[in-house]
Amino acid sequence: MHGFFDDLTSDEPAAQGSPFPLMPEGEAVDMGTAPDGTPLIDPRIFDSPEFFRNPYPYYRILRDHYPVYHDKLHNCYWVTRYDDITECYFDDEGFNTIPKGSSSGVLGNTQLELSGVEHRRRRNLYGQHLVGKSLQLRVPAIERLARDMIGAWDEAAAAGSEYVIDEGARRTVELGRMFANEFPIRVVCEVLGFPQEAQADFYYWYNSMMSGLGGSETHKQGVEARQHLEDYVEGIVEARRKAPTYLYDKDGNPVGKDIISKLCETRVDGDFLSTEEITSNIALIVGGGGETTRGAIMNLWCLLLRHPDQFAAVLDDESNWDKAFHEMLRHSSSIGGQPRHNTFDIEMHGVHIPAGSLMNMVDFSANHDERIFKDPEKFNIFREDLYSGKLLRSGYRKEGRCSHMAFGVGPHLCPGAWISHQETVVGSKILSATMKNPVIREDKMPRDIDGAGPSPMGIVSVRDLWIEFDKP
């Protein structure tokens, strides 16, 4: 799911009149110093293009000097150290919900804004269908959809698509438009149980709801899209209550009911779920499994191709895809963090935080905390301090290895985490079987301010990724 940052393109120019120039990657704008030499923070930096493209030197200043920063301009508190964020996520009484209204306006009454017993009950309604054996039942659908999309590249090239270009023995594909943008939506649509003819509408509903989060100018369109989704789902739910539908393996044999059919059978306190409750669960699954996975695929391929030795190691041993996935999320996650309201007056690092304050838990910063991860700016799938095993809501911290915080930890760990992992790795394995000897067409990619190196990935996912490879 989106955190508290909206998507911006990583090559966006400096805003007209911005007091903050674009800096070389890893260097911070000098905002002055206190009499004791402590670097000062101007909270306007958080709204600047410079921060979105080059955030990590500013996070370091916050971690080192203002681990809890009272941002009076935005009326919030920024929490930036790994240990502090972890402690808050696990304190289900003190920091138990995201702020009311931050998602419900578009997604409906989801479990994001609940806590305690009610949160656990809501989450378990659909969470059981996204993990373990249920998750493995989705693999044939994921593989088939990936192959279908990749198989369409030949036709697109023949039709003169500007996003699939054949030049001699090589082919160039813009991975976003030709795969990553739509692939996770197709997967979610299928495993939920939407009919094939509804997929185009589903893609529109998804894009409208995601762009409408956060009270933006597109909020009205997002609310209308969710209403359209609910109206459509109402008919499906009534039909599935009587006649459930199924997912199938590669041989066409049914392997289990789709998620909508399973939700239609679910009872809470002896009553079946209402259509509104089912729709809210669907909206949350859509958000968790859509943009999260799109960004994961794009960032993963961008980082691996810019580190060819590590890409070669992944090709030599497929088990390294999991390591690459987790290191990508630590290094360049597209998920910013999770806002919280504190239940009680508290004091952290000498800062008094009144009850009910908006506290931004900055997962981006936690993943680059030098207290946890050595040389955090380096992408290294073999780093010895990162846990890259099975995703755990409890997190992992043993024998010098820690889990990344891209999905959070604790009761509100991102509900789309497991399916995002599965889609990214399964889809990437199929992509790697098709794209032989791939390289990034850097001439088509945005450049840094010096015009030489690539533009920083910042706190957004790669929007366009041009890859050239041997034509099949």
CATH code for the domain in which residue 126 is found = 1.10.630.10
**Closest residue by Cα to residue 44 from 21, 64, 11, 74:** 74
pTM of the model: 0.87
pLDDT for position 2: 36
* 195 part of a folded domain: yes
Q: What is the pLDDT of residues 256-274, one digit of tens each?
A: 888 888 888 887 777 888 8
3-state SS assignment for residue 410:
coil
pLDDT for position 117: 47
* 452 part of a folded domain: yes
* 24 part of a folded domain: no
Q: Report the C-alpha gap between 241 and 246 in whole angstroms.
A: 13
Enclosing H/E stretch for 247: strand 246-248
pLDDT for position 108: 57
pLDDT for position 70: 98
Q: What is the pLDDT of residues 429-456, one digit of tens each?
A: 999 999 999 999 999 999 888 888 888 8
Q: What is the pLDDT of residues 340-352, one digit of tens each?
A: 889 999 999 999 9
* 400 part of a folded domain: yes
Number of domains in the chain: 1
Which range of residues forms the domain containing residue 266? 103-331+382-470
* 245 part of a folded domain: yes
pLDDT for position 22: 93
Beta strand pairing call for 170-174 and 164-167: antiparallel
What would the two tokens of residue 212 be? 């409408």
pLDDT for position 375: 97
* 25 part of a folded domain: no
* Residue with the two structure tokens 């050595």: 374
* 60 part of a folded domain: no
pLDDT for position 48: 94
* 143 part of a folded domain: yes
Q: Report the C-alpha gap between 290 and 287 in whole angstroms.
A: 5
Q: Output the CA–CA distances (angstroms, integers) from residue 109 to 154, 165, 178, 254, 461, in the order listed.
A: 43, 45, 33, 32, 28
What would the two tokens of residue 300 be? 């993963």
Which residue numbers in the chain have pLDDT < 70? 1-17, 96-135, 212-216, 283-289, 412
